[in-house]
Amino acid sequence: MEERLLGSEAKDIDDLKGRVWKESKKLWRVAFPAMLARVSQYGMFVITQGFIGHLGEVELAAYALIQIIAVRFSNGILIGMSSATETLCGQAFGAKQYHMMGIYLQRSWIINLATGTILLPAFIFAADIFKLLGEQTDIANRAGDISLWFIGILYFFVFSLTIQKYLQAQLKNMIVGWLSAVAFAVHVALSWIFVSKLNLGIPGAMSAMIIASWFIVIGQFVYLFGGWCPNTWKGFSSAAFADLYPVLKLSISSGVMICLEFWYNALLVLLAGYMKNATIEISSFSICLNIISWEFMLVFGFLAASGVRVSNELGRGDAKAAKFSVKVAIATTTVIGFFFSLICLVFSRKLAHLFTSNDEVIESVTSLSVLLAFSVLLNGFQAVLSGVAVGAGRQAVVAYINIICYYFIGLPVGVLLGYVADLKVKGIWTGMLLGVVMQSLVLGYVTWKTDWDNEVKKASERLNKWLLKPSEEESNGN
């Protein structure tokens, strides 16, 4: 009898191992290309900061303001708006409604192009905006010069993000990963030539970034229009202009959800700018946030993967598979988080040297290593839980959670600790972490209590509501 029980337990363990291995392969199939793309694309921002940082302290602080406030502001909105494409395309792919995916992509282009154009004034009038916010005049003026170069990057976001979501929903995002890796190499080479050899300064560094970024977009268009997505891309269609309102509604919910997270860090950098030694405080904090963000680009792959896996399984009607995917993704990102936390603790000084040669900034970054390590650890939980929300189309719920945890808890506590308790950047960051911890706990509870059978029903209702039959779609095609 005991032998039978032991044999049954061993069989169950082997079965579990097989399921975990199978699910892990599915997750990594989406996660690895997404990681490669995000690390490479974000790496271009980091490399640019490195080249600009060695031009001077004011240049480094100005670039930090633009990247972490204006670029995060726009990137957060556009990434969020694009996650609606991820939800709809992922569920359509799972339900085998392949012809609808190209329609959803075109609708997202229309919405994101309009959104990107609305965001233009944030870059055109950046210097005046920063002055109104009380930033130092020399930093604000230099930030205004740099911001104009980022207009080309703004429209890069519009197309690159949406196509990437469309491709990864159908497990074809490896092309985006390789294009991004090549673009990163091109960017490094051009930055070295333009800045180090030709001494073109900020124009040289920003030109290198724009050229490399649009290399990715052009490659994506070639892949899309060249016939590599025959089932999901049927050409341009007037059907893209139909049912824009419900897609816009979901896009806005997605945009609010993501951008509230991006703006959270941006506001904390802005608060650091009001301190006495603003240049050092902004520079050190922005370096730490860049390290966090670069590591987040790795776990962002699991945000994408968990979103795709959940949306695919909900579209397919398999609630148990969606739930199991969430468990495997959380376990994987926890291991990754612990590994990179240790790196941040051990090599914090060397990491700071990558961005600046200023001893004061390096010391400030080193003193923040414990907070840096803890932030890196939390990234994984935050990414997977956000990805689950995107896959299930629950962006609006997460938006409310983000508002409460970040802006009613984290931000006020950060201000009190930073200014009233005079803990400066450490106080601001501690408040920020409290908000992230609260958000992760609440999202974890919501995910744990999710009725996945009901989520399958909701996904089916959403897909059927917006479904166009292939004959209808083709009749509207150009």
pLDDT tens-digit map of 371-397: 888 888 888 888 888 888 877 878 778
In 231-267, which positions are buried (b, 16+ CB within 10 angstroms) versus exposed (e)?
Answer: ebbbeebebbeeeeeebbebbbbbbbbbbbbbbbbbb
pTM, rounded to two decimals: 0.79
Q: How many domains does the chain have?
A: 1
For residues 232 and 225, give the distance between their C-alpha atoms in angstroms, rounded to a whole number.
11
Query: Residues in the chain with pLDDT < 70?
Result: 1-14, 262, 265-266, 268-270, 272-278, 281, 465-478
449 located within any domain: yes
444 located within any domain: yes
9 located within any domain: no
Check residue 336 and give its pLDDT: 87
Check residue 190 and give its pLDDT: 96
For residues 323 and 470, give the distance between their C-alpha atoms in angstroms, rounded to a whole number.
31
473 located within any domain: no
Domain holding 294, by residue range, is 28-466
Question: Which amino acid is present at 251?
Answer: S
Check residue 475 and give its pLDDT: 46
4 located within any domain: no
Alpha helices for 54-98 (secondary structure H): 57-65, 72-94
Residue 361 near residue 283, CB atoms below 8 Å: yes
Residue 267 near residue 411, CB atoms below 8 Å: yes
For residues 10 and 27, give the distance between their C-alpha atoms in angstroms, rounded to a whole number.
25
Count CB-CB contacts under 10 A for residue 189: 12
- φ, ψ for residue 422, nearest 5 deg: 60, 35
5 located within any domain: no
Check residue 478 and give its pLDDT: 43
Burial class (CB in 10 A: 0-12, 13-18, 19+), 186: middle
475 located within any domain: no
Kindly tell me the number of DSSP H helices and DSSP E strands found in the chain.
20, 0
Provide the sign of the torsion angle of the four alpha carbons 239, 245, 248, 250, taken in this order: negative
7 located within any domain: no
Check residue 97 and give its pLDDT: 87
Residue 369 to residues 45, 284, 372, 421, Cα–Cα distance (Å) = 22, 11, 5, 20
Check residue 161 and give its pLDDT: 92
Check residue 9 and give its pLDDT: 54
Check residue 171 and give its pLDDT: 86
